Structure 1
Amino acid sequence: MEGTYLKKNIYINGTNDPGEQADLELYETVSVDDDIYENTGIAVSVLEKPNSGLSEKCETLQTAPQEEQKIDSSKVATCTTCQKVMLLIFVLASVLMSSVSLVIALTIHLRVEAAVDGSWSDWASWETCSTTCDVGLQTRHRNCSSPAPLGHGRQCLGEDSEHRLCMPGPCSNGSWSAWGSWGSCSVSCDVGLKSRLRICTHPRPSVFGSSCEGDNMQAEICGREPCSETRVAFNVYQYSATGISDSHTVIFTNILLNEGGAYNQTDGLFTAPFSGLYQFNGQICTVVGKNAEYTLTIEGKSFASGEYRTPSDAGDGKCTSFSAVVSVLRDQRVWITSQHLFANDNDWNSFSGILIHKT
């Protein structure tokens, strides 16, 4: 007998349930000449059964006590191949895991070693001004690239651009407009002045443009025709009085001078024909033993006033005089008020005035 064949069923998950038996059955040949005893066996690697998700196990073949077995050499070779494949897979997996760990460690090492803080480059040249005239802005830039931040290095601190004012030049300088028309003469006669204007708007100077040079006004003499002679003067008096006790407007009926005809001998009023400075003079004579109050009045306002009394032991009435220089407007009226007046051929009540300066 060449050998004894031992059928060996291979089950899944180490069970002996024929319902879960694997499709592979191994026949092991036991040779009589081979000395294989109990506790002598071949270790078989685990094979994956396709599409089953289950494992088939090559069980260890052992000889029964005092029983000789003959093992099929092809089956032994199959188990040996499984061992080699699994060993190769294990070695490759170990190498792969070691490589991955090495790569991870190297990456971490490189990140730590390659951390570089960023630093600014030099400023670039200033860009063109934003305007072509007057005031604009210029900008220049720099980059965080000298060196650029690497890994966990810090970014550059500060601004990457800055600005400044730029003034390429004025947009426009000022220029004069044409002269305007001549104005009216400052006087109606004699010598006066007239003027004309121009303005700096052709064009107006811009913000930094220069203003127009020269005067904005011209003046020249005008008139040249002599004014007619202006004379105002009067001198009036009365040589008789009734001695009225109440204060009243004194009417001087006798005219010595009335140049310009401004004094009215009917109502005793002087009406100023021109505005200007006037000098007025007055003389008042009172009855013996009576007090006489007098006032120089211009449109109801007193400009000179006083009181005079002739002593009781005087033979005739006595006189007092007064004067005032006042500014009178055109058409204002001037008069004298008094009371207890006395007059004779030698002592007159009088009123006179003259235009000193026309305004």
Structure 2
Amino acid sequence: MCTVASFVISAFFKHILGASMNMCDDEHNSTHIKMILPLTFKTVDGSWGNWLDWGACSVTCGGGTRSRSRLCNNPSPSNGGEHCQGSNVNNQNCNSNECKTFVNGFLLSDDSRTWASAKAACEAISARLVIFDSQQEIDGIMTAFNIQSFDHWIGISCTAGTNCMRVDGLAASSGFQAWAPNEPNWADCVYIGMSKKLWDDTYCGESRPYICEQI
């Protein structure tokens, strides 16, 4: 039970300490004191963290955009602090190079990539790494693009020089072949360029231009 004296003491502590205090007798007539101190927290304004990596460009040629983002977590706002000012997204132009056009259904790249990246680049434009059907087709590409020799990835991959497969899922041995002497030998990815226009296997991680064909 709270008495008049209890309220007087409580008022005193609130005035002196800025605290809320209860002083009452419980049901067993023992006096207890409960003091509630006010809690104060420091206000923290938010600050931007580092920019994350750039995303992929929206196109492979002709001019596109890419973006990156950042988080308001260095530190995050708390206890009523201000949120970070400005945008959390940054955009940038990319791949402004002119788009090359297909000639007679083929496209010779003007950039160099690994075999896997070249395969993906062809697929991104609804094409595939080239699968040659004849020597006449090879000669026709050289004429159409006015080149004297190749050094380009084609659509064949192997396993340590064996079990070579075309990107259409068929065995390389099921169709036209133009291997250089004693090839394939030891590696996993195939390019045309040995002795100007013969095939050879090499490391897939090498950077080379490539040939796409429409499908």
Q: TM-score, normalised by structure 1?
A: 0.26
Task: Give 1 or 2: higher strand fraction.
Answer: 1
Flag the structure with larger Rg.
1
Task: Give 1 or 2: higher helix fraction.
Answer: 2
Q: TM-score, normalised by structure 2?
A: 0.38
